[in-house]
Amino acid sequence: MAEEHAESRLSRIQDVVAVFVLSITAVLTAWCGFEASKWGGEMSIAFSQASSARIQAASANADARSAEQFDLTVYAQWVVASAEGETELAQYIQDRFPPHFALAFDAWQADGMVETGPFVREEYVPPGQVEADILLTFPIKI
């Protein structure tokens, strides 16, 4: 009888431990599901912000490329006018350089026109380029 009582007591202890372990497991499983869904929502928001930043960066980069194309066209006309000795035309074109290009052009001329052109100067920053660079490196906060 003492042996049966000891087995019965051991069986009850095992049942209590099993119920306790299963309860802990259920709570941890529910907590993991909650955290996973919360993280999934934050991850979606971060992806959305990153996509938005990439679209804005592409738009700013397109603006910069358009400005650069315009500057190249105007500069090419200046080069042709200068090469043909048409100083009045060259000066007329130079007076109409956009401010961002005029800055690089003036620095290029001040340095003796050593580089291949004003476009390689650090002063040359077409409109939209800074914004594109910032948006491409903008950290998304979660």
Per-residue pLDDT of the chain (142 residues), as tens digits, is 667 777 788 888 888 888 888 899 988 888 888 887 778 777 888 788 878 878 888 888 898 899 999 999 999 999 999 999 999 999 999 999 999 999 999 999 998 888 888 999 999 999 988 888 887 776 655 4
**SS3 at position 84:** coil
Asked whether 34 and 119 are in contact (CB, 8 A), the reply is no
Sign of CA dihedral 84, 85, 89, 91: positive
Sign of CA dihedral 106, 108, 110, 112: negative
> What pTM was computed for the model?
0.63
